[in-house]
């Protein structure tokens, strides 16, 4: 088995609406009384501060008697996006070539619950997300991943910073860069990390989702700013097909 320093390609995945076909933060509302959050709580949301809002939501759910088991049960029922489990099967079969990393503005409990339920946790070399742990009262306490001031991203996570720092550190540890870097995502906060990809790298935006729209708009408004090859996908098997092509290089 090849070591992590031998892998040729680095693949980043988003979680919500990329790996799973829903937004985990939205799905957790199913555990609330009548599957509904009160207006006073929803009205506390501020743009760019969703992490803080979710901290309040999780506090409210705990006050309503929602347990760790309830939250886990909802997460484990979220379906994978079309073709995603087949893509993971392919990546596991070629683990000597691909180093796989997850970068998400969800949280560690939601993500770990889903990955373990579907038996794919071992595929991911690292998971970067907002930390979440249960306190002694059984409340899921959410914290920000970091604090940053990127104008394109929420205050608690700039995915470009994560991608840049990880790729740079691993390149130094390996003694050489990866042949290509791939980024698979869907949302507006996946556009920022894709901006740091080079001309040999590939961005996989989910077709007709915000990441795809922002890449298209950038190509039209400022040609040359977005450097990566863009391969939109509706079914993750399209991503696998493209990765197979690069294996033959």
> Helices 68-76 and 108-117: crossing angle, nearest 10°?
60
Closest CA to 181 of 146, 128, 227: 227
d(CA 41, CA 53): 8
26 in a known ligand binding site? no
* Catalytic annotation, pick one of 14, 26, 70, 97: 14
* Catalytic annotation, pick one of 16, 97, 149, 201: 16
The predicted structure's pLDDT at residue 3: 55
What is the helix (H) or strand (E) element at residue 75, kind and residue range?
A: helix 68-76
The predicted structure's pLDDT at residue 5: 64
The predicted structure's pLDDT at residue 147: 77
pTM: 0.95
The string of DSSP codes covering 33-62 is: GGG---HHHHTT--TT-HHHHHHHHHHHHH
Structural domains of the chain, ranges and CATH numbers in brackets: 4-20+80-129+151-247 (3.40.50.1000)
CA dihedral 79, 35, 51, 14 (to 10 degrees): 10
- Active site includes 16? yes
186 in a known ligand binding site? yes
The predicted structure's pLDDT at residue 164: 96
The predicted structure's pLDDT at residue 157: 92
The pLDDT tens digits of the residues spanning 97-150 come to: 999 999 999 999 999 999 999 999 999 999 999 999 999 999 999 988 887 788
User: Can you point out the beta strands (E) in the chain?
Assistant: 9-13, 98-107, 124-130, 132-134, 140-142, 180-185, 202-205, 229-230
The predicted structure's pLDDT at residue 152: 87
- Active site includes 43? no
Give the angle subtended at the CA of 54 by the CAs of 164 and 66, to the nearest 5°. 130
The predicted structure's pLDDT at residue 1: 43
d(CA 5, CA 170): 8
- Residue 208 burial (CB count, 10 A): 11
The predicted structure's pLDDT at residue 149: 82
Write out residues in the chain with pLDDT < 50, as ranges: 1-2
């Amino acid at each position: 088995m090849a070591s992590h320093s031998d892998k040729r390609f680095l693949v980043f995945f988003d979680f919500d609406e990329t790996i799973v076909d829903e937004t985990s933060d939205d799905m957790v509302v199913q555990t609330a009384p009548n599957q509904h959050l009160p207006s006073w709580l929803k009205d506390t949301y501020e743009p760019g501060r969703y992490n803080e809002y979710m901290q309040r939501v999780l506090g409210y759910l705990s006050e309503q008697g929602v347990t760790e088991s309830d939250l886990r049960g909802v997460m484990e029922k979220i379906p994978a996006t079309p073709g995603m489990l087949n893509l993971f099967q392919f990546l596991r079969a070629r683990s000597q070539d691909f180093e796989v990393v997850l970068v998400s503005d969800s949280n560690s409990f939601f993500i770990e619950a889903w990955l373990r339920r579907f038996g794919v946790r071992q595929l991911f070399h690292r998971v970067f997300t907002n930390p979440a742990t249960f306190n002694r009262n059984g409340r899921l306490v959410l914290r920000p991943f970091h604090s940053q001031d990127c104008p394109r991203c929420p205050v608690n996570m700039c995915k470009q910073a994560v991608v840049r720092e990880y790729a740079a550190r691993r390149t130094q540890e390996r003694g050489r860069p990866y042949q290509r870097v791939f980024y698979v995502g869907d949302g507006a906060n996946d556009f920022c990390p894709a901006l740091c990809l080079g001309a040999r790298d590939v961005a996989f935006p989910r077709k007709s989702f915000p990441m795809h729209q922002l890449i298209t708009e950038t190509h039209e408004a400022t040609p040359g700013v977005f450097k990566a090859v863009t391969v939109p996908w509706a079914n993750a098997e399209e991503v696998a097909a493209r990765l197979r092509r690069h294996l033959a290089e």
